[in-house]
Amino acid sequence: MSIVVFVNPRSRANRRDPRLADRFARTLGEVGRVIAPASLDDLMVHAKQLAQNPPAVIGIHGGDGTLHRTVAALIQAFRGAGDRALPPIAILAGGTMNVVARSLGIKARPERLLASLVSASKAGQAPSVVVKRCLQVGGSYGFVFGNGLMANFLEEYYAKGGYGAGRAVWILTRTLLSALVWGGYARRIFRRYRGRVLVEGQALPWKALTGVCAATVREVGLGFKLNHRADEDPDRFSVLAIHAGPVTLAQDLVPVHRGLGVNPRRAWSAVASKLVIEPEEAETSYTIDGDLYRASGPLEIGLGPPLQFVKA
């Protein structure tokens, strides 16, 4: 068994611990190698090379954004090489939120998980896996899509250049306090998405929504399970259209954290295989797995391929 591990040299974890990649390499020894792409173009080059000669396992170290970018590059490369299935993916969670890893119940520390994979490889054992489909968002792939509130929150989260769980909690607290008087901060975070939303070809009745979310995993960060229906059907994804404002939504914080979802009086939910966003604005913001994007015109969200993830 050969193991290839992708690391993001610009990730927070690797900036704090620049010797991490070297330790991964020592752990792998002759069993595999570490790839640290210098850019997204470099990532795509390596992905195409792996598609021609796939390893037995691909490890990805970093946060949800790194996982999203790497998985997207790998899917595109493997599809371009005869639509091959990807090898099992080991999530070496090294981000702030680790939404996908938490949703899949992956709790092992990165170095411990990698060491266990090396031991299994030397013993000729294949890893146990769990299968989860991803989303296809336009021409990319990921696990959580969101606009409106979700994108607005992230714009504020990244605005100061620093990030982490503490900053996320601070923004959430400030937003709730501002919402009590409908202050400028709350109005900025709760800017509504305006436009049409079509689920399986049927338009929803609201033309202005607090936010639309689609996901194949339940969590969105800090333990909040906003996409509570994501595990309901392995071949469909969760869709959530929130139409309530901040004051009434505050009632749902505890239920969402417990995995019960937003009250149906305040949000519409379903599982689906196709979602189309048709914004009124010429350009709109959205997020895939915590990375921010801008789109002009309609955006289609569907199902990506099923992926195998190493259990840990």
Residues making up the chain, counted from first to last? 312
Of 8, 36, 41, 72, residue with least CA distance to 288: 72
pLDDT band at 11 (very low <50, low <70, confident <90, very high): confident
Tell me: pLDDT of 40 over 90. Answer: yes
Map tokens 């092992």 to a residue: 108
| Each residue's pLDDT tens digit, 132-156 | 999 999 999 999 999 999 999 999 9
Local confidence band at 181 (pLDDT 50, 70, 90 cut-offs): confident
- For residues 283 and 182, membership in a common domain is answered with yes
Q: Which residues pair with 211 in a beta bridge?
A: 242
Strand pairing class (57-62; 3-7): parallel
Mark which of 127, 155, 175 sits at the end of a domain: 127
**Would residue 14 count as lying in a domain?**
yes
Any idea what the CATH number is for the domain that residue 39 is in?
Answer: 3.40.50.10330
Query: Are residue 296 and residue 272 in the same domain, yes or no?
Result: yes
User: Is 152 in the same domain as 279?
Assistant: yes
Q: Are residues 27 and 64 in the same domain?
A: yes
pLDDT confidence tier of residue 162, bands split at 50, 70 and 90: low
Q: What is the mean pLDDT of residues 90-113?
A: 92
- Whichever domain contains 271, its CATH number is 2.60.200.40
Write the pLDDT tens digit of every residue in 219-272. 998 899 999 999 999 999 999 999 999 989 989 999 999 999 999 999 999 999
Residue 159 has what pLDDT?
84
The arithmetic mean of pLDDT across residues 24-46, rounded, is 95
What's the whole-number average pLDDT of the chain?
93
Q: What percent of the chain is predicted at pLDDT more than 90?
A: 79
Tell whether 155 and 120 lie within a shared domain: no
CA distances from 126 to 50, 89, 119, 292 (A): 19, 12, 11, 36
Q: Is residue 136 included in any domain, yes or no?
A: no
Residue 51 pLDDT > 80, yes or no? yes
Do 12 and 109 share a domain, yes or no? yes
Looking at the structure, tell me whether residues 109 and 162 fall in a common domain: no
Same domain, 114 and 13: yes
CA distances from 222 to 63, 110, 263 (A): 14, 20, 20
How large is the average pLDDT for residues 177-184?
88
- Is position 210 within any domain? yes
Residue 161 has pLDDT above 70, yes or no: no
One domain for residues 35 and 103: yes
Based on the fold, state whether residues 158 and 282 are members of the same structural domain.
yes
Q: Do 106 and 206 have their domain in common? A: no
Which domain covers residue 150, as residue numbers?
Answer: 142-304
pLDDT at residue 1 in the model: 56
Is residue 36's pLDDT more than 70?
A: yes
Q: Identify whether 183 is part of a domain.
A: yes
**Which of 3-17, 62-76, 211-225 bottoms out in mean pLDDT, i.e. has the lowest?**
3-17
Outline where the chain has alpha helix (H): 12-16, 20-28, 40-52, 64-80, 99-103, 110-122, 149-159, 165-179, 184-189, 246-249, 253-258
The answer as to whether 188 is a domain residue is yes
Measure the CA–CA gap between 264 and 175, rounded to whole angstroms. Answer: 22
In a domain, 19, yes or no: yes
Residue 137 lies in a domain: no
State mean pLDDT over 70-87. 95
Q: What is the pTM of this model?
A: 0.94
Q: Does residue 95 carry a pLDDT above 90?
A: no
155 and 123 belong to one structural domain = no
309 falls within a domain: no
Of 7-21, 26-40, 81-95, 270-284, the least confident: 7-21
Indicate the pairing of strand 32-35 with strand 57-62. unpaired
Q: How many domains does the chain have?
A: 2
Average pLDDT in the 170-181 region?
88
Q: What is the pLDDT of residues 191-203, one digit of tens each?
A: 999 999 999 999 9
